[in-house]
Structure 1
Amino acid sequence: MIAKLVATVLYSGLLKPAPGTWGTLAALPLAWLAAQGGPLVFTALTALMVPLGYWATVEVTKGAADHDPGEVVIDELLGVWIALLPVVWGAARAGVEVERLWPGWIAAFVLFRLFDIWKPGPVGWMDRRSDAWGVMLDDAVAGVMAAVGVVLLAGLAHAL
């Protein structure tokens, strides 16, 4: 089933323990691949993950009591890709390969996982929705918060 393949990010969400972390890790090489098209392609593909992830989440949770099962990790992919947007755009602006900004990749991963697990403020508000939008939006907001953190850390690193 295509929806399960998408929702679990190539079945990485079936790995235990911590399927969200596995899903986020699986999203990184996919992000690198998407980033090879440049920042506009990466941004467009990131935006495409919103309706694709919503659809896949609706499909795999249809009739289930749990609206946010652990194996659904397409939301983690969306969140970490949002967190990586400043890295992809920064690499393009600097005229370097995106992997050269590896500290940004680590910061995006760590900050995204932190905000996704901690669920501060608006992340928690979105998470409390009992539908597929809540599944997708809490990670999108965590990704935005992580992206801001990535920019702040990059600014700090370049100022030193």
Structure 2
Amino acid sequence: MFYSIAGTLLGIGYIPLAPATAASIIVCILIWFLLKSPLTYLSLIIILFTLGVWISSKLVILWGEDNRRIVIDESVGMLITLFMIPQRILFFLIGFFLFRFFDIVKPYPINESQNLKNGWGVVMDDVIAGMYSSIILWIFIFFYHLIQ
């Protein structure tokens, strides 16, 4: 019971249409309003990553590999994408769309990371998608400030 509640982010994973997108939107909103301390933010990434691998490993046994109900991994990816990003709606929107793009398209090595066993494969593709998204977002922010 705990695994399914945590793995679906309190039931978000049960949303019938695009549960990963719904989870990503909710995480963006929570980051916007709640996460102000970089230390708290980084701690949350580490905790959710660790929990995500552990919980996903349990849920993979019950539900199969990378079941769409498992959305705790999306929370980790979005947190990585938006880590230390200046709080502007434009930046958050771009970060959200970049993360969803990389999470759906899964270019190399994101696609390869899904071959990792158990919860590692479930979570690592979102970690790498978050890293790709963050890098591109920071490049955008750099040029955005350059032309301002």
TM-score by length of 1: 0.85
Question: Unaligned stretches of 5+ in structure 2?
Answer: none
How much does 1:29 deviate?
Answer: 2.6
Aligned to 2:68: 70
List, as ranges, runs of 4+ consecutive aligned residues in structure 1 with deviation greater than 3 Å. none
Aligned to 1:57: 56
Alignment length, in residue pairs? 147
How much does 1:147 deviate?
Answer: 0.3
Q: Percent identity?
A: 28
Does residue 26 of the first structure (1) align with residue 13 of the second (2)? Answer: no
Aligned to 1:127: 114
Q: How does 1:76-95 map to 2 (within 5 A)?
A: 76-87=74-85, 91=86
Distance 1:58 1:155 in 2: 38
Amino acid paired to 1:86: M
Amino acid paired to 1:158: H
* Cα offsets for 1:59-98 (capped at 9, x unmatched): 222244x2210000111110011000131xxx4xxxxxx3
Shift of the 10–124 alpha-carbon distance from structure 1 to 2, 3 Å rule, reads same
- Give me the CA root mean square deviation: 1.5
Contact 2:81 2:95 survives alignment (8 Å): yes
Contact 1:83 1:112 survives alignment (8 Å): yes
Contact 1:34 1:45 survives alignment (8 Å): no
Does residue 153 of the first structure (1) align with residue 140 of the second (2)? Answer: yes
* Cα offsets for 1:28-55 (capped at 9, x unmatched): 233235413x111101111111111112
Aligned to 2:89: 102
Distance 1:136 1:22 in 2: 17
Distance 1:52 1:130 in 2: 16
Amino acid paired to 1:54: V
TM-score by length of 2: 0.91
Question: Unaligned stretches of 5+ in structure 1?
Answer: 92-97
Amino acid paired to 1:26: I
Contact 1:13 1:70 survives alignment (8 Å): yes
Tell which deviates more after alignment, 142-151 or 20-29. 20-29
Contact 1:86 1:150 survives alignment (8 Å): no
Aligned to 2:6: 6
